[in-house]
Amino acid sequence: MNDFSKSPLFLNARQIAERLGLSVRQVRALAKDGRIPEITVGKNTRRYDLDAVVAALTTLDNANKENTHAE
């Protein structure tokens, strides 16, 4: 039997937005700017690894805090 509990959780933009308290527009803008990773599935379908997005946003938030304190 496969253990899928350690598999990444791939969600669409709406699902990521709901879980993180963002708008779908914000999720898509962050991905377009390269601030969060996205996976292209097919021609027009994008998916997001929840753990990777959270890690990217945490890193981005920490970098912003360090830059704010340095000024």
CA dihedral 36, 25, 46, 12 (to 10 degrees): 90
Q: Can you give the pLDDT at residue 69?
A: 57
Q: Which residue has the higher pLDDT, 5 or 49?
A: 49
Q: Look at residue 20 and tell me whether its pLDDT is greater than 80.
A: yes
Q: How far is CA 35 from CA 27, 62, 70, in A?
A: 10, 13, 22
Q: Could you tell me which residues come within 8 angstroms of residue 16 by beta carbon, excluding any fewer than 6 positions away?
A: 22, 27, 48, 50, 53
Band (pLDDT 50/70/90 cuts) for residue 71 is low
Mean pLDDT of 17-45: 95
For 61, the token pair is: 């938030």
Mean pLDDT of 30-46: 94
For 58, the token pair is: 């945490």
